[in-house]
Amino acid sequence: MIRMFNLKDKVAFVTGGNGGIGLGIAKGFIGSGASVVLAARTRSKLDSAFSEISESGFGDRVLALECDVTDRSSIQAALDTSVAQFGGIDIVVNNAGTNKRAEEPHLLSEEDWQDVIDTNLTSMHSVTSLAFPLLKERGGGKIINIGSMTSIFGSPYASAYAASKGGVVQYTKSCAIAYAKYSVQVNAILPGWIVTEMTDDFGRLFPDRYAAIEGRTPAGRWGQPNDLAGTAIYLASEASQFVSGVSIPIDGGYSVQ
């Protein structure tokens, strides 16, 4: 049974892997035996993430690459380097994302709307499209898309974010159907309120709402990035071979009430 969750000899490509949820998932993969590519834009955060993992003794199984997920040539270059280093790709985690907030939808600029859609949704299609041939070449694989609890319900102050994350669920279902014949399972994780750099910004903008979230969450706390690692390992492993097209909320029960 333990072997079902073993990721030994697997290679995972994690976008936005240099911090927050992406780094939490990457650490979980490494702990389960995988080699991991951290693909993200900010070099300083990549270096910090690489150092953190290396200090734990796994530096030989991590590769930190600058990658702009809104630029297909940058994605392709990162994938090419990953294959050259590790021999292939077995797991893709589409985690890179951003958020731009306004008190009401009509107050969000068109530029901010487009930036969120491009980063959160269009990039998912770009990464998946370029990585899929590598999974097919391996005879199968796993794609894990990171949505949000706003995939389930709306947000008046994060309309573009909610729209993009709603799209993540439908894109996940579409890919799950299309890629089943290639033994590629495609699923989504929908994080709730997780302590990250992105939600720190939310706390500064909406302190009253930030404080109220803990009271509504049945678990009685905000989540941590490593709270998502177990679900990601399951969806990346042989244990989920017959699971595809599902979206799993990881939110301490926030979305069920």
Helices 110-117 & 159-179 angle (0-180, nearest 10)? 30
Beta bridge partners of 59: none
**Bridge-based pairing state of the strands 184-191 and 247-250:** parallel
d(CA 251, CA 163): 19
Residue 34 CB neighbours (<10 A): 26
Q: Which residue in the list 161, 179, 234, 254 is annotated as catalytic?
A: 161
DSSP 64-105: EEE--TT-HHHHHHHHHHHHHHHS---EEEE--------SSG
Q: Active site includes 161?
A: yes
d(CA 2, CA 221): 30
H or E element that contains 250 = strand 247-250
Active site residues: 161
